[in-house]
Structure 1
């Protein structure tokens, strides 16, 4: 993805007016993270009542680990009690990210929670993605153990067999300089799938619609400012992909900024039907880091081929 290093560097220099939506570019002062509230909760555990625990509940509910819609839990949505459902939700989160499942908000858990990430929930409608289980032989012990890799959305939504040529378009207000780096990830996915992608002449008629949005933008999944939720996309056959216009975007690995191509490569995976991977090196890992680029992993390719039986 970063093979054209010199040309990408020159392009990045010209990228300042990237978004007409006015993405934040003030890099003189270190921005606070939307997840900074977690810092003063370090060490919290069941039985505690600490100001700000309600925001921890909101975080875990946003990503599917808590569900306060049940009447028995509604009274605890906005309180600061570290109750048993919160402990259970935190343990599930820790298990999902290969952390010690203590149910205690320790430093490593906080560090993981504070990482910028995709806004798609980890657990949807009370269910995680349909994780693929692979049997691997342990030659040292002469046995097999199960390891999980790529996952699909619940119900395995995917594009119809006849719909292999997908069109994409950019929402009004997206500049040419933002469009160019997003085209490359489509070529990358095309090279590793049965899909072909082409730019639609009329973006309103495109199968996949891409744009930059801020805060609450009408799809029930608001962004939360710089360094929090970077982007999100919907599974087939919805076709919407939104970047957070308030984040720092670049082309290539630029310190303190997020690579447009890397984010697009991840979100297109969602558009095609991949949920998350628990392989940290995979593009479908939920977190995207500043100042780095990332390409497809074997796990991503195996996942998309398994979903479409190709």
Structure 2
């Protein structure tokens, strides 16, 4: 137990504010409330990587009262430096404007530090940022990220609390991307005193660009990562994959030896992408075709052969969100790989199994993918399903699944242009060009080219895979 004085009310407010305890006001008894707080405390302890006792020890309380970001910690996942929230900006060229400066920190230093923080992200991606300094009522409405230094309750239901504690917060792209900083903080630059504006801004802009908190204490997106570092502050070697998924830094070219009309494609987190047709596959690393291909599928993915009732022509190859293993679907059957490694991974002994017994989807699966929001989508002709891997069934939501690809992925139905936030991460792929031995995809928001819809129905998941890497 903590040897000092623990403020029980402050602890429960902390757990509620940062997402560890939900709907506590709706509980019917004190015993249920106490149980909810205990479980929330255990969840927080697991998040910071200490023994989940459900009681407050020194490290638990000290971490709770540290200055930190005001955004919720939300999801507990394996330790990752960057966790994708799901929504993204439709354009790579973003604008920002500082609409309210701090009262006790020179304006020129504010502009330098905030621009430097945004440059940290642009250097790691294909994004560019335009600083709009001149106030204009017309361009203000179109500015992507508005930045302000606020005091207390400033109109967004997340009030600041004076010096210390919450330093700032920012909204994900689907909610506007604005970033707010607490004006009451003692903002500094290159000093061990006060709060380092550059490091806090780099963190908050990560939220503005679509990243959630990380439970790695050394990551930029760690909730409490605001102590000034004399050494280089930035990304280390494990950042590229998730940032590239969200913002894109595509390096590659055109592959003259890969045929048209591929069956499906598979992408792993090590930048390796595999393209399948018939009984053969091709391998690329960062979209560079590797020598020695095509190979037989059974060579690289051991056991996916006739002895396991596979006769070629995969319908889907994807990493399933439920266990992060690779699955293959062909017709009514599916197979699971025991590890995501070429030449090492083998089809598990109790496969194949029937797709309908797993997914409870009666329609034939024509492709599948795990999207950047961590959810798995299954496609069948012109409709799709979103799968709940926790409950192991198609998600039960309104409007129900299956849904039309044309309405929810291509945005052809203009009446659905204002989707709720659940679907704000879905891209609108509207132009498709097929050329000999290559595909080119362009994305536009709220527009659709009707003439391409029929073709998109057939290969939309493959295009989405390519689209992730292009963007």
Deviation at 1:110?
0.7
Distance 2:27 2:208 in 1: 35
Gap runs ≥5 in structure 2: 248-467
The residue number in structure 2 matching 1:226 is 163
Q: Deviations over 1:18-52 (max 9, x none)?
A: xxxxxxxxxxxxxxxxxxxx9412xxxxxxxxxx4
Secondary structure of 2:162's partner?
coil
The residue number in structure 1 matching 2:184 is 246
The residue number in structure 1 matching 2:193 is 256
Deviation at 1:222?
0.7
The residue number in structure 2 matching 1:23 is none
- When residues 119 and 167 of structure 1 are mapped into structure 2, their CA distance, relative to the original with a 3 A threshold, is same
Q: How does 1:101-140 map to 2 (within 5 A)?
A: 101-123=52-74, 128=75, 131=77
Gap runs ≥5 in structure 1: 1-37, 42-51, 134-146
Secondary structure of 2:5's partner?
helix
After superposing on structure 2, the runs of 4+ consecutive aligned residues of structure 1 that deviate more than 6 Å are none
Distance 1:65 1:279 in 2: 17
Deviation at 1:148?
4.0
Secondary structure of 2:27's partner?
helix
Deviation at 1:173?
4.3
Say what the alpha-carbon RMSD is for the aligned residues.
2.5
Q: Deviations over 1:202-234 (max 9, x none)?
A: 472310011100111111111111111011110
The structure that is strand-richer by fraction is 2
Q: Does the 8 A contact of 1:283 with 1:297 survive in 2? A: no
Distance 1:110 1:244 in 2: 23
TM-score (norm 2): 0.47
Q: How does 1:176-195 map to 2 (within 5 A)?
A: 176-195=108-127
Distance 1:39 1:295 in 2: 35
Deviation at 1:305?
1.3
- When residues 267 and 301 of structure 1 are mapped into structure 2, their CA distance, relative to the original with a 3 A threshold, is farther
The residue number in structure 1 matching 2:140 is 204
Q: Does the 8 A contact of 1:167 with 1:207 survive in 2? A: yes
Q: Deviations over 1:167-202 (max 9, x none)?
A: 000114453332221111122211111101111244
Q: Does the 8 A contact of 2:69 with 2:224 survive in 1? A: yes
Q: Does the 8 A contact of 1:53 with 1:82 survive in 2? A: no
In the comparison of the two structures, how many residue pairs are matched? Answer: 236
The residue number in structure 1 matching 2:173 is 236
Distance 1:114 1:72 in 2: 26
Distance 1:270 1:299 in 2: 18
Secondary structure of 2:149's partner?
strand
The residue number in structure 1 matching 2:297 is none
Alignment pair present for 1:302 and 2:253: no
The residue number in structure 2 matching 1:158 is 88
Q: How does 1:28-67 map to 2 (within 5 A)?
A: 39-41=4-6, 52-67=7-22
Q: Which moved more, 1:240-249 or 1:193-202?
A: 193-202
Of 72, 79, 90, 2:41 maps to 90
Q: Does the 8 A contact of 2:219 with 2:225 survive in 1? A: no
Secondary structure of 2:39's partner?
helix
The residue number in structure 2 matching 1:33 is none
Deviation at 1:276?
1.2
- When residues 307 and 211 of structure 1 are mapped into structure 2, their CA distance, relative to the original with a 3 A threshold, is same
